[in-house]
Amino acid sequence: MANCLRVGECDTLGAYAIGRHVCFACRRAAQRTTQRIVQRTVRMKLPSFHTKTSPYREDLMTFQRTGRNAPAIAVALFGLLLILLLGACAPDASAAILSPALGDVLEAEAAGEVYVAAPAVELPKLADLPPEEVAEGMPADLAEAVANGNVDNALTLVASRGCIGCHQLDPANQLVAPTWHNVGDTAVSRIPGMSPGEYLHQSILKPNDFIVEGYLANIMPQTYGDQLTTQDFGDIIAYLLSQNGQPE
């Protein structure tokens, strides 16, 4: 090599082939020669995408525009897929599997018959009962106290005793205890065979004797029997019975 600083010791091509010593100047010359050969080969075989006359220029520009819109396209496709999935999963409200009478429906279908649901039973209301049935089973002095109930005193009692902290007149608020909305009507059929007046009496006197489904025992104090007079009981029961016939 003419530029080699170690003439006689440097054989560039041979050294690359067999791993012998190559001086710095010859190594750089060989690298530049290799780069030029590679660049010429690439230009000969690959078309230019960036020349105005290139047949690939329009394809490249279209690809670039599509790439910039890729996030929006992906979101739109995901939204469409989500709508299709929700539509496919929507339950059929008329399907028998959603019916509480599924067993009867399947039994009727197996027999080749058409299932006919029994008409809904309308529960009795307080207004449907005569006065004597409202107070049936109550002690005579308590029944008289209810008949002479003082609603204003009842409101004072339920506020001072904390009753309204759990029992609400709003039917949508039943988190801790059953609502007092239409509780007079509810008490008519809460316990079969027990009058609404006596049910309310026992619910205050012995609240753990009957726990409404979905609620816990030992939440309501069990000491009202020692704290309230007969007239206090009568006032509160009269107030609760007055909560009836309201729109649901």
- Say what the pTM is: 0.54
Confidence of residue 16 (pLDDT cuts 50, 70, 90): very low
Q: With 70 as the cut, is the pLDDT of residue 235 above it?
A: yes
Confidence of residue 8 (pLDDT cuts 50, 70, 90): very low
Topology of the domain comprising 126-241: Cytochrome Bc1 Complex; Chain D, domain 2 (1.10.760)
Residue type (1 letter), 69 = N
Average pLDDT over residues 52-70: 57
What is the spatial distance between Cα 154 and Cα 236, in angstroms, rounded to a whole number?
5
Q: Which residue has the higher pLDDT, 6 or 58?
A: 58
Our measurement of the distance from residue 204's CA atom to the centroid of its chain's CA atoms, rounded to an integer in Å, reads 36
Confidence of residue 126 (pLDDT cuts 50, 70, 90): very high
> Could you tell me what percent of the chain has a pLDDT over 70?
66
CA neighbours within 13 Å on the CB side: how many for 99? 12
Average pLDDT over residues 74-79: 78
Q: With 70 as the cut, is the pLDDT of residue 247 above it?
A: yes
**What one-character DSSP code corresponds to residue 126?**
G
H/E stretch holding 62: helix 57-68
**Do 204 and 229 meet the contact criterion of CB atoms below 8 Å apart?**
no
CATH 1.10.760.10 domain locations along the chain: 126-241
